[in-house]
């Protein structure tokens, strides 16, 4: 299992287009990927669940991936967050 | 209820206009969903049915999206991308399947339970965007349910006569399939001015009244309705007299609408034959279509920031060239003033890594950045120059405070021109160059500066902010934001007079230019070009066409003698009243 912590830094947070980008990238990988904010853990491939966390700018999140491509999945998602979702 | 006029309901005006016609109550099917426990052998078949219904829904959404793209354009079709994401959401399917397995619910009952749970979650969030997602989930859930139960998709595409649609709520899926030949208006229980139904109604130019509580149970299909979208009123089963009255009102409204649209196409010429140019401000190449529809005679301000914002890096020369070329060609020789990059202040570019400032509006912005980062500036100038062969293109520098900046910018422009000549690339050798007048020092030095450029364009928003030292975003002092303040008017006059002394022209691209109340005053001050939001064009043209230039000059002279903003505003309003200008709503302004 691979884990990474990241801070969401783009102004609108994990919301609207960034949330869609996040789940679409997660969906490309076979591994089971979860997203954690505080005590809540959700399926990172679900737009509904990701939106339901209401992640705002400055929130620390934890990403877990487990499966054959877990490393690639974590790398891709962290990269997306670090790029501030290309904004 | 009022006697004699049937039932009157008050709602929110979602889209203007008046319509009289038969109601068509578009009801949500209340499907009877069996909540009985299913037997264990039925679990897998139910899951299979669910998966099939999701797959069919997915295909339907894709085809609706395509229809939307053709009917209402890319922007409004985007909503269906959100629907697709929901229909494909793995957690949505999983949560439903869990209920089927563990609670032994039928697929339909489990779907309904999970959908409702999501809708409740989203609608409880304190964010407009999230609440809208609740409506999306509901729309998708309803579609999947219909597919599960074998009902055709909900829609308004099978109407046979003209109707006013009365519904609890209209979702994007409902409105995209509607037959515009027969749907003459909307009335809904849910929704406000920014709701989907309101936006679509305005696009289709049909009236809509929204937020009418319980309307679907107060009206029956076939009953006659008067729909007054302008006032947000509905009359159900009105008396004959009222119908006649509203038929008259409808005629007047349609007449005015047609007149306003026609007016846009007329030249802005005063009664004594003086013509001024009325142009549009645009932000993206596609804005040009709307500008031309409203009768723009050119573009007085093309804000190029659009090309730079929302990107990871600077736009390349070719990308810029393509955008400028597109607008220049569409204008077919009408003037196009391209403002060079005006970033900083409240507009940031993350990839430029500008450091935060205490006083951004007085800081590193506009031409100051371009002169400092000459590479960025040169790329843009090259793109503009190359596009200049495709139309009547002009260059305008923003945030000029004095003559030194003009000279430095012009020197860089001369270098770029020389480079192009050396490469054998064609451009308009006589391309006109102007500056924005938005800093008081530029207005005061107008006579010196105009000798170095071809035109001025007054940016009233910043000119007002800098002259009166007022932050217009600050509510506590917003009363001090006075674009018709005597000092601001004086700076406008200095600039116009200086340009005329050297046989050059002055335009205006701030909000004041589109204000019908200020039009007479600005005309009288000698303004040559008025550039505004496209929708303001017809009315400003109407004002200019209803007065003589001689009159306007006298009015401007009189206004310059007044002491306060308040006096000038009241004076201008009175002038407008005597001109009997009627606006699009049919009310005097």
Average pLDDT of the segment spanning B18-29: 88
Residue B1 within a domain: no
Q: Do B118 and A48 touch (CB under 8 A)?
A: yes
- Per-residue model confidence as pLDDT tens digits over B389-438: 999 999 999 999 999 999 999 999 999 999 999 999 999 999 999 999 99
Query: Given a cut of 80, is residue B155 above it in pLDDT?
Result: no
Coil, helix or strand at residue B373: coil
Residue A51 within a domain: yes
Q: Which two tokens stand for residue A68?
A: 């054959």
**pLDDT bucket at B510, cuts 50 / 70 / 90:** confident
Do B404 and B509 belong to one domain? yes
Catalytic residues of A, which ones? 15
Do B224 and B107 belong to one domain? no
Give the CATH number for residue A19: 3.30.1340.10
Q: Do B133 and A83 touch (CB under 8 A)?
A: no
- Per-residue model confidence as pLDDT tens digits over B544-575: 999 999 999 999 999 999 999 999 999 998 88
Do B119 and B196 belong to one domain? no
- Residue A31 belongs to domain spanning: 9-86
Dist CA B582 CA B551 (whole Å):
20
**Dihedral in degrees, nearest 10, Cα atoms B410, B416, B419, B425:** -120
**pLDDT bucket at B323, cuts 50 / 70 / 90:** very high
Query: Given a cut of 70, is residue B173 above it in pLDDT?
Result: yes
Residue B312 within a domain: yes
pLDDT of B2 reads 42
Q: Which of B149, B164, B196 lies at the terminal end of a domain, its last residue?
A: B149
pLDDT of B4 reads 46
Query: Given a cut of 70, is residue B581 above it in pLDDT?
Result: no
Residue B192 within a domain: yes
Strand-pair category, B299-303 with B335-339:
parallel
pLDDT of B102 reads 94
Dist CA B72 CA B184 (whole Å):
17
Dist CA A6 CA A71 (whole Å):
15
- Smallest CA–CA distance, residue A48 to chain B, in Å, is 7
pLDDT of B71 reads 72
pLDDT of B494 reads 98
Do B66 and B22 belong to one domain? no
- Walk across the sheet containing A60-66 and list its strands: A2-7, A60-66, A32-37, A40-43
- Per-residue model confidence as pLDDT tens digits over B193-229: 667 778 778 777 889 999 998 899 899 999 999 999 9
Average pLDDT of the segment spanning B93-105: 95
Question: Euclidean distance between the first and final Cα of chain A, in Å?
Answer: 30
Do B144 and B162 belong to one domain? no
Residue A3 within a domain: no
Q: Do B91 and A15 touch (CB under 8 A)?
A: no
pLDDT of B3 reads 42
Dist CA B129 CA B191 (whole Å):
14
Question: How many domains does chain A divide into?
Answer: 1
Average pLDDT of the segment spanning B266-277: 95
Top pLDDT among B64 and B391 is at B391
Q: What phi and psi, each to the nearest 5 degrees, are found at residue B13?
A: -70, 115
Average pLDDT of the segment spanning A26-54: 92
Reported ipTM: the value is 0.87
Which of B404, B203, B380 has its CA nearest to residue B303? B380
Closest CB from A42, A51, A84 relative to B130: A51
pLDDT of A4 reads 93
Q: Which two tokens stand for residue B172?
A: 């994007």
Radius of gyration, alpha carbons of chain B: 29
pLDDT of B467 reads 97
Q: Which of B149, B183, B198 lies at the terminal end of a domain, its last residue?
A: B149
Q: What angle do CA B278, B507, B431 make, to 5 degrees?
A: 100
Residue of A40, A51, A80, A86 for testing the chain B interface, max B β-carbons within 10 Å: A51
pLDDT of B346 reads 66
- Residue B520 belongs to domain spanning: 268-557
Do B119 and B186 belong to one domain? no
The full 3-state SS of B60-72, as one line of letters, equals HHHHHHHHHHHHH
- Per-residue model confidence as pLDDT tens digits over A2-35: 999 999 988 878 877 788 889 999 999 999 999 9
Set of chain B residues whose Cβ sits within 8 Å of the Cβ of A87: 310, 350
- pTM for the full model? 0.57
Residue A45 within a domain: yes
Query: Given a cut of 60, is residue B94 above it in pLDDT?
Result: yes
Q: What angle do CA A55, A57, A63 make, to 5 degrees?
A: 50
Dist CA B468 CA B480 (whole Å):
8
Q: Which of B72-81, B131-140, B249-258 has the lowest mean pLDDT?
A: B72-81
**Does the annotation count B509 as an active-site position?**
yes
| pLDDT above 70: percentage of residues in chain B | 95
Residue of A14, A42, A46, A80 for testing the chain B interface, max B β-carbons within 10 Å: A46
Is the CB of residue A84 less than 8 Å away from at least one CB of chain B? Answer: yes
Query: Given a cut of 60, is residue B589 above it in pLDDT?
Result: no
Do B276 and B173 belong to one domain? no
Averaged pLDDT score across all residues of chain A: 90
- What is the 8-class DSSP label of residue B179? -
Which of B40, B76, B195 has its CA nearest to residue B131? B195
**pLDDT bucket at B112, cuts 50 / 70 / 90:** very high
> B88 to chain A: nearest residue by CA?
A46
Is the CB of residue B91 less than 8 Å away from at least one CB of chain A? Answer: yes
Is the CB of residue B573 less than 8 Å away from at least one CB of chain A? Answer: no
Whether residue B435 contacts residue B400, with contact meaning beta carbons closer than 8 Å, is answered with yes
Top pLDDT among B356 and B324 is at B324
The Cα diameter of chain A in Å comes to 33
Top pLDDT among B452 and B288 is at B452
- Smallest CA–CA distance, residue B366 to chain A, in Å, is 21
Residue B258 within a domain: no
Do B136 and B187 belong to one domain? no
> B89 to chain A: nearest residue by CA?
A46
Averaged pLDDT score across all residues of chain B: 89
Is the CB of residue B121 less than 8 Å away from at least one CB of chain A? Answer: yes
H-state helical runs in B373-503: 374-387, 403-423, 440-444, 446-449, 460-467, 486-501
Give the CATH number for residue B201: 3.50.30.10
Residue A17 within a domain: yes
> B130 to chain A: nearest residue by CA?
A51
Residue A4 within a domain: no
Is the CB of residue B312 less than 8 Å away from at least one CB of chain A? Answer: yes
Q: Which two tokens stand for residue B239?
A: 């008396």
Do B117 and B162 belong to one domain? no
Q: Do A42 and B91 touch (CB under 8 A)?
A: yes
Do B327 and B436 belong to one domain? yes
pLDDT of B170 reads 86
**pLDDT bucket at B582, cuts 50 / 70 / 90:** very low
Q: What angle do CA B75, B67, B129 make, to 5 degrees?
A: 35
Query: Given a cut of 90, is residue B286 above it in pLDDT?
Result: no
Residue of B54, B78, B90 for testing the chain A interface, max A β-carbons within 10 Å: B90
Top pLDDT among B259 and B230 is at B230
Whether residue B460 contacts residue B512, with contact meaning beta carbons closer than 8 Å, is answered with yes
Dist CA B122 CA A48 (whole Å):
9
Top pLDDT among B281 and B354 is at B281
Question: How many domains does chain B divide into?
Answer: 3
Q: Do A47 and B130 touch (CB under 8 A)?
A: no
Query: Given a cut of 90, is residue B474 above it in pLDDT?
Result: no
Is the CB of residue A23 less than 8 Å away from at least one CB of chain B? Answer: yes
Residue B568 within a domain: no
Closest CB from B81, B90, B310 relative to A87: B310
Q: What phi and psi, each to the nearest 5 degrees, are found at residue B480?
A: -85, -10
**pLDDT bucket at B51, cuts 50 / 70 / 90:** very high
Which of B158, B195, B154, B189 has its CA nearest to residue B174? B154
Do B230 and B359 belong to one domain? no
Residue A80 within a domain: yes
Average pLDDT of the segment spanning A65-80: 94
Dist CA A79 CA B305 (whole Å):
27
Which of B373, B321, B331, B384 has its CA nearest to residue B349? B373
H-state helical runs in B88-195: 90-103, 107-123, 128-149, 172-176
Which of A23, A86, A22, A31 has its CA nearest to residue B89? A23
Do B78 and B218 belong to one domain? no
Give the CATH number for residue B95: 1.10.274.10
Dist CA B437 CA B495 (whole Å):
8
Query: Given a cut of 50, is residue B272 above it in pLDDT?
Result: yes
Query: Given a cut of 70, is residue B37 above it in pLDDT?
Result: yes
Is the CB of residue B92 less than 8 Å away from at least one CB of chain A? Answer: yes
- Chains A, B: CB contacts within 8 A come to 44
Is the CB of residue A25 less than 8 Å away from at least one CB of chain B? Answer: no
> Cβ neighbours of residue B255 under 8 Å, at least 6 residues apart?
none
């Amino acid at each position: 299992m691979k884990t990474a912590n990241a801070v969401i830094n783009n102004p609108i947070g994990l919301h609207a287009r960034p949330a869609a980008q996040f789940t679409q990238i997660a969906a490309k990988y076979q591994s089971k990927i979860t997203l954690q904010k505080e005590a809540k853990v959700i399926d990172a491939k679900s737009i509904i669940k990701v939106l339901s966390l209401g992640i705002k700018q400055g929130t620390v999140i934890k990403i877990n991936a487990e499966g054959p491509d877990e490393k690639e999945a974590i790398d891709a998602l962290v990269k997306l967050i670090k790029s501030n979702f290309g904004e | 209820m009022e006697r004699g006029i049937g039932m009157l309901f008050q709602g929110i005006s979602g889209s203007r206009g008046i319509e009289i016609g038969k109601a068509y109550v578009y009801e949500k099917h209340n499907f009877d969903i069996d909540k009985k426990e299913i037997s264990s052998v039925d679990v897998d078949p139910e899951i299979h049915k669910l998966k099939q219904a999701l797959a069919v829904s997915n295909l339907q959404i894709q085809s609706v999206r395509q229809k939307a793209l053709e009917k209402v354009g890319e922007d409004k079709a985007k909503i269906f991308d959100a629907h697709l994401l929901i229909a494909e959401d793995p957690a949505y399917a999983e949560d439903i399947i869990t209920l089927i397995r563990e609670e032994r619910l039928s697929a339909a009952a489990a779907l309904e339970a999970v959908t409702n749970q999501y809708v409740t979650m989203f609608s409880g969030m304190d964010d407009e965007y999230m609440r809208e997602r609740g409506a999306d989930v509901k729309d998708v859930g309803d579609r999947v349910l219909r597919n599960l139960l074998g009902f055709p998709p909900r829609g308004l595409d099978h109407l046979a006569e003209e109707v006013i649609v009365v519904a609890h709520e209209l979702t994007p899926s409902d409105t995209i399939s509607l037959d515009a030949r027969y749907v003459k208006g909307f009335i809904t229980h849910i929704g406000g001015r920014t709701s989907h139904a309101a936006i679509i109604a305005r696009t289709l130019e049909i009236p809509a009244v929204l937020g009418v509580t319980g309307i679907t149970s107060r009206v029956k299909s076939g009953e006659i309705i008067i729909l007054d979208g302008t006032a947000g009123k509905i009359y159900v089963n009105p008396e004959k007299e009222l119908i006649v009255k509203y038929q008259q009102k409808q005629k007047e409204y349609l007449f005015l609408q047609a007149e306003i649209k026609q007016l846009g196409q007329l030249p802005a010429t005063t009664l004594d034959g003086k013509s001024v140019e009325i142009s549009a401000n645009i932000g993206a190449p596609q804005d040009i279509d709307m500008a031309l529809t409203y009768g723009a005679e050119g573009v007085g301000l093309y804000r190029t920031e659009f090309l730079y914002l929302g990107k990871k890096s600077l736009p390349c020369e070719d990308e810029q060239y393509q955008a400028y070329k597109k607008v220049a060609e569409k204008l077919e020789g009408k003037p196009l003033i391209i403002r060079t990059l005006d970033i900083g202040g409240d507009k940031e570019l993350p990839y430029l890594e500008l450091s935060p400032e205490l006083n951004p509006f007085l800081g590193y912005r506009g031409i100051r950045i371009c002169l400092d980062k000459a590479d960025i500036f040169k790329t843009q100038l090259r793109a503009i120059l190359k596009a200049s062969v495709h139309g009547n293109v002009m260059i305008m520098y923003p945030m000029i405070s004095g003559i030194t900046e003009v000279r430095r910018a012009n020197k860089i422009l001369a270098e770029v021109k020389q480079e192009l000549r050396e490469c054998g690339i064609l451009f308009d050798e006589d391309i006109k160059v102007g500056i924005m007048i938005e800093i008081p020092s530029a207005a005061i030095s107008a006579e010196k500066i105009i000798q170095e450029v071809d035109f001025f364009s007054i940016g009233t928003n910043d000119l007002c902010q800098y002259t009166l030292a007022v932050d217009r975003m600050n509510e506590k002092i917003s009363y001090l934001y006075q674009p018709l303040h005597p000092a601001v008017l004086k700076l406008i006059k200095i600039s116009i007079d200086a340009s005329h002394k050297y046989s050059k022209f002055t335009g205006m691209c701030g909000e004041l230019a589109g204000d019908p109340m200020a039009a007479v005053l600005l005309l009288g001050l000698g303004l040559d070009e008025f550039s505004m939001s496209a929708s303001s064009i017809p009315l400003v043209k109407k004002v200019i066409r209803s007065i003589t230039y001689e009159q306007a000059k006298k009015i401007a002279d009189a206004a310059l003698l007044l002491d306060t903003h308040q006096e000038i505003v009241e004076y201008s309003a009175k002038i407008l009243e005597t001109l009997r200008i009627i606006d699009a709503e049919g009310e005097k302004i």
